[in-house]
Amino acid sequence: MGAPPTAAIIIIGNEILSGKVHDSNSYFLAAELRNIGVDVRAISVLPDEIDIIGKQVSEAAASHDYVFTSGGVGPTHDDITMEGVAKGFGVKTVRNKTLEGIILRRCGDRTPDESALKMAELPEGAELILNEGMRFPVVVFRNVYIFPGIPRFLREKFSAVKDRFRSRPFHVKKVYVNEDECFIAYHLGKVVEDYPEVSIGSYPQVDKPDYKITVTLESTDEGELEKAYYLLLELLPPEIIVRTE
């Protein structure tokens, strides 16, 4: 049936690394992408440094189907994501006339200075996705989708374009177990061995009175998922299974 498309998420900003701002964008993107069948394989947080951004983004683009960046696209001195992406791919930045026009219209009677128009400087060859209701377009360079760092704007933009990434959905089964991990690890390993295409997760719960572990099984192949699920139920002692979903 083929593997699901893969993605890397790259969060850019010194404010994240210094703890001044709490990152919620990576969690949002990972959850949304999973819901539409995209397998997130990496999440990185990078400083506002052109060389590091360029290297990480270009490497991620070469090894994933999609890359999603967040942050560094405003008018200030530390908004250097576009320059970083351009350098990483060996292209220059150029003034995008469509984006420049959007910025000028938003300024109305006020004349923007060069710092505002800096937001129209994009990696050469970048494309714009502008759906109805968007304040600003999503910038796409090859397989890199460049989003703002402000969570509200990132969520609005991603929600407007997410259908283009939609693939076969992940199906999920859950087993709630009232036992410690060390006593079920062998059984989990057996299921992983027999069904390597099914993702198995084991998550201890310290505040649940009736169970200790949530075991999840996920796959885009519903048939393989069912087989793995029933094998796990067969292997686990029935008295430790609290419930299933």
For range 222-227, the mean pLDDT: 97
Chain position carrying tokens 């084991």: 202
For range 235-244, the mean pLDDT: 98
The total number of structural domains that make up the chain: 2
1 inside domain: no
Looking up residue 231, the CATH number of its domain turns out to be 3.30.70.2860
Put simply, whether the predicted model's pTM sits higher than 0.85 gets the answer yes
What confidence score (pLDDT) does residue 1 get? Answer: 59
Per-residue pLDDT reduced to its tens digit, 171-214:
999 999 999 999 999 999 999 999 999 999 999 999 999 999 99
Residues 184 and 240 in one domain: yes
Domain boundary among 165, 197, 223: 165
Residues 131 and 195 in one domain: no
3-state secondary structure of 143: coil
214 phi and psi angles, rounded to 5 deg? -105, 120
Looking up residue 64, the CATH number of its domain turns out to be 3.40.980.10
179 inside domain: yes
Residues 69 and 35 in one domain: yes
Residues 240 and 124 in one domain: no
**Contacts of range 178-184, beta carbons closer than 8 Å, 24 or more positions apart:** 178/210, 178/211, 178/212, 178/213, 178/240, 178/241, 178/242, 179/212, 179/213, 179/237, 179/240, 180/212, 180/213, 181/213, 184/213, 184/215, 184/236, 184/240
- Say if CB 136 and CB 96 are below 8 A apart: no
Residues 142 and 194 in one domain: no
130 inside domain: yes
153 inside domain: yes
Residues 28 and 95 in one domain: yes
51 inside domain: yes
Per-residue pLDDT reduced to its tens digit, 24-68:
999 999 999 999 999 999 999 999 999 999 999 999 999 999 999
Residues 139 and 202 in one domain: no
Mean residue pLDDT across the chain? 95
Report residue 150 as tokens: 């402000």
Domain that holds residue 234: 171-244
Domain boundary among 143, 165, 187: 165
Residues 146 and 183 in one domain: no
Residues 33 and 10 in one domain: yes
Helix (H) or strand (E) holding 189: helix 185-194
Per-residue pLDDT reduced to its tens digit, 130-179:
988 788 899 999 999 999 999 999 999 999 999 999 999 999 999 999 99
